[in-house]
C-alpha cells in the first residue's frame, strides 16, 4: 500500500515580502526553507514555479557554502548569494535558521536598495516570529 508523501506544514510568511514587492523593478520574492520548501511567496509566483525556485535555491545555497568552504579551506556561513542573468537578478540572504529570503528583480534594479530592504525584512521576520506568543502545551506531567 502506498502512503502519500507528507508535506511540511509551516506558517505562511508571505507578509514579510510585501515591502520588497513594492520596490521598483522587483518582480517576485519568496521565503524558502533550507530543505526546499516555500514558506511564503509573492502573489504572482505560480505554485509550480515556487516549488522549482525553492528546490533550486536550496541547492544553490548548499553549493555556495561548499564552494566558499573549499576556497577558504574551512566551513563558511553565507551572507548573500547573487545571480545575474540577462533576465535580471536573484538575491538570497539567510532569514533565520535553515531559511532564506530570495528576490527576483529586473536588470535595472538598484542592488543596494534591494539588499538593504531584504535585511530590514529579515530583521522584521525574526522579531515577529521570535516575539509571537508561545503555544500552550498543557500542564507538565
As a whole number of Å, the end-to-end CA separation of the chain is 37
pLDDT single digits (tens) 110-129: 999 999 999 999 998 776 65
Per-residue model confidence (pLDDT) at position 7? 47
| Per-residue pLDDT at 75 exceeds 60 | yes
The DSSP result for 12-63, as a single string, is --GGGGHHHHTSTTEEEEEEEETTS-EEEE-TTS-HHHHHHHHHHHHHHHHH
Claim: this prediction has a pTM higher than 0.85: no
CA-based nearest residue to 102, from 65, 64, 54, 63: 54
pLDDT single digits (tens) 34-47: 888 999 999 999 99
Amino acid at each position: 500500500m502506498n502512503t502519500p508523501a507528507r508535506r511540511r506544514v509551516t506558517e505562511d510568511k508571505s507578509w514579510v515580502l510585501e515591502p520588497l514587492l513594492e520596490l521598483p523593478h522587483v518582480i517576485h520574492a519568496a521565503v524558502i526553507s533550507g530543505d526546499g520548501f516555500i514558506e511564503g511567496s509573492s502573489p504572482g509566483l505560480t505554485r509550480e514555479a515556487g516549488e522549482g525556485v525553492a528546490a533550486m535555491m536550496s541547492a544553490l545555497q548548499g553549493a555556495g557554502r561548499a564552494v566558499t568552504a573549499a576556497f577558504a579551506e574551512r566551513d563558511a556561513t553565507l551572507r548573500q548569494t547573487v545571480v545575474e542573468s540577462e533576465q535580471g537578478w536573484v538575491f538570497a540572504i539567510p532569514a533565520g535558521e535553515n531559511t532564506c529570503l530570495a528576490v527576483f528583480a529586473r536588470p535595472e534594479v538598484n542592488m543596494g536598495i534591494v539588499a538593504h530592504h531584504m535585511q530590514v525584512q529579515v530583521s522584521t521576520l525574526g522579531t515577529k516570529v521570535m516575539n509571537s506568543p508561545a503555544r500552550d502545551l498543557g500542564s507538565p506531567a
